Amino acid sequence: MSSKKQPIGYLPDETPPIVELFFFALQQIVVMFPATVLVALITGFHVSTTIFASGLATLCFILITGKKIPLYYGSSFSYIAAIASIMTEDAIAKNGLNTMISTAQFGIVMSGFVSIAAGLIIQRAGRKTIDKILPPTVTGSIAMIIGLSLAKNAMENAAVFPDAIEATKTALAGNMAWVISIITLISTIAYSVYLKGKLSQLPILFGLLTGYVAAAIIGAVTGIPFVSFHNSGLSGIINFPEFTLPKPSLAAIVAIMPIAIATIPESTAHVFQLDIYVNDLAKKTGSKKKYNIADKLGLNLVGDGVGDIISGFIGGPAGTNYGENISTMALSKVFSVPVLIVAAVITMIISCFTPLINIVYSIPTAVIGGLSVYLFGVIAAQGITIMMDRKVDMFKSKNLAVIAIILIIGLGGSYGYEGNGLIPMFGMKLPALATAAVAGIVLNLLLSIGEKDETPVE
């Protein structure tokens, strides 16, 4: 009887059986893939190169961190506006796509050094100092705006239908896209809530498959090609990624390098989330081991910076550890590092193997939208989890002030103005997430002057 009640899951240093290992890895790829590919499509980077860079950077991250931190590296939305500003410069754009990518790559590589420097400083300063600079009011709020700032992408994807349809079927296609996304969303939620045992660890994968089958059936009945195997434009069996090298550029440094500042609170939030969830699972499974993931924040940032350098050097966008993957681990209770290693290797294979690329590309955008509504919402909810776990006093004026300006600057800047995530201020265009993070950190430090140390003794 007791074995049936024991929580099922895998801790970072545990390896699932081979069949489970493969499906858990596939699930991690499923949740990483849409956002990573979307960044490539928005910025103009080569999709296959972006996918390959994601897998390679993840492997290097895991190696650098000694296989202690279960995180997946993927393309970051925080850098999109800065990269786009470089890619659209007339003097750069006239030399062709690869020159634009190469120029942006230099800024991406340099941003990696910002993360590494921050990581080394944090390792030397210690946890107590970091808690003062990046308290849960900052990290939790940043996690919330990261999830909520992606809400627009999720809802817009949920309504997407194929372009190549008859004009008379446009209204029907729009309605059916919503039906597909709703089926995907509701089934994924149902799987995560009601499935038991081993099956409860694969809600995202099952939700995607349910949405995919629904799209295929609806497509067959209506004649609307929601599922298409020709979206990648690739033919043959093997197509290796197109690698480019960084081209030194001061403009790229100025535009892209500072964005790394925004990913520091983001990475901090992710590490704190993992610490909470992993140790909760360890406690529920009766493990005597303490996983001090939160104490490895500096090491995580070093690994993150190395990931940016590696991705940027071969032609991939800047990235960070992925909230979507953490959401999936939290829902499935699978925090196994070997699962992420296998996911990274499979991702690199997918980037070269045309049939696999075509299968992934055949996933309808409406299905991705249905999944994203849930996953991006979970990312935001995890920000609340951080503040609840650290017992943030929501009646304290200082805490309310820090949380308030981060949420409003981050969300208002993401959706306001031209909706491109840039805030026009003092003749400049400031990235919303980075501005919110810096504003929150600075305000917290100013309001902490003269305040008694209330850091709990652990």
**pLDDT of amino acid 7:** 56
Q: pLDDT band for 198, please (50, 70, 90 cuts).
A: low
Characterize the bridge pairing of strands 319-321 and 428-431. Answer: unpaired
Identity of residue 78: S
Range among 13-27, 355-369, 411-425 with highest mean pLDDT value: 13-27
Q: Which residues of 322-353 are buried (b: 16+ CB within 10 A; e: fewer)?
A: bbbbbbbbbbbbbbbbbbbbbbbebbbebbbb
Mean pLDDT score across all residues of the chain: 85
Q: pLDDT band for 457, please (50, 70, 90 cuts).
A: very low
* CB contact at 8 A, 141 and 439: no
CA 133/CA 130 separation, integer angstroms: 5
The answer to whether residue 415 scores a pLDDT higher than 80 is yes
**pLDDT of amino acid 91:** 54
CA 387/CA 380 separation, integer angstroms: 12
Q: pLDDT band for 3, please (50, 70, 90 cuts).
A: very low
**pLDDT of amino acid 5:** 46
> For residue range 291-337, what is the model confidence (pLDDT) as tens digits?
889 889 899 999 999 999 999 999 999 988 877 788 889 888 899 99
The answer to whether residue 68 scores a pLDDT higher than 50 is yes
23: how many CB neighbours lie within 10 A of its CB?
A: 17
**pLDDT of amino acid 2:** 42
Q: Which residues contact 370 (CB under 8 A, 6 or more apart)?
A: 158, 180, 181, 182, 183, 184, 185, 188, 207, 211
The answer to whether residue 283 scores a pLDDT higher than 80 is yes
CA 416/CA 40 separation, integer angstroms: 23
The answer to whether residue 216 scores a pLDDT higher than 90 is yes
* CB contact at 8 A, 27 and 206: no
**pLDDT of amino acid 92:** 56
The answer to whether residue 287 scores a pLDDT higher than 80 is yes
- Kindly state the tokens that stand for 241: 């990624």
Q: 24-38, 168-182, 251-265 — which is least confidently predicted?
A: 251-265
Q: pLDDT band for 75, please (50, 70, 90 cuts).
A: confident
Percentage of residues of the chain with pLDDT beyond 70: 91
* CB contact at 8 A, 148 and 142: no
* CB contact at 8 A, 251 and 89: yes
**pLDDT of amino acid 432:** 82
- Please give the sequence-ordered ranges of beta strands (E in DSSP) within 11-148, or none if there are none: 73-75
**pLDDT of amino acid 233:** 64
> For residue range 220-238, what is the model confidence (pLDDT) as tens digits?
999 999 998 766 666 678 8
The answer to whether residue 192 scores a pLDDT higher than 60 is yes
113: how many CB neighbours lie within 10 A of its CB?
A: 15
> For residue range 80-93, what is the model confidence (pLDDT) as tens digits?
767 876 776 655 55
The answer to whether residue 100 scores a pLDDT higher than 90 is no
**pLDDT of amino acid 39:** 79
* CB contact at 8 A, 365 and 226: no
> For residue range 112-165, what is the model confidence (pLDDT) as tens digits?
998 999 899 888 887 677 778 888 898 889 888 878 888 888 899 899 998 878
Look at 264 and 71; give whichever has higher pLDDT.
Answer: 71
> For residue range 45-62, what is the model confidence (pLDDT) as tens digits?
888 899 999 999 999 999
Long-range contacts of 196-199 (CB under 8 A, 24+ apart): 197/8, 198/8, 198/20
> For residue range 358-393, what is the model confidence (pLDDT) as tens digits?
777 788 889 988 988 988 888 788 789 888 888 899
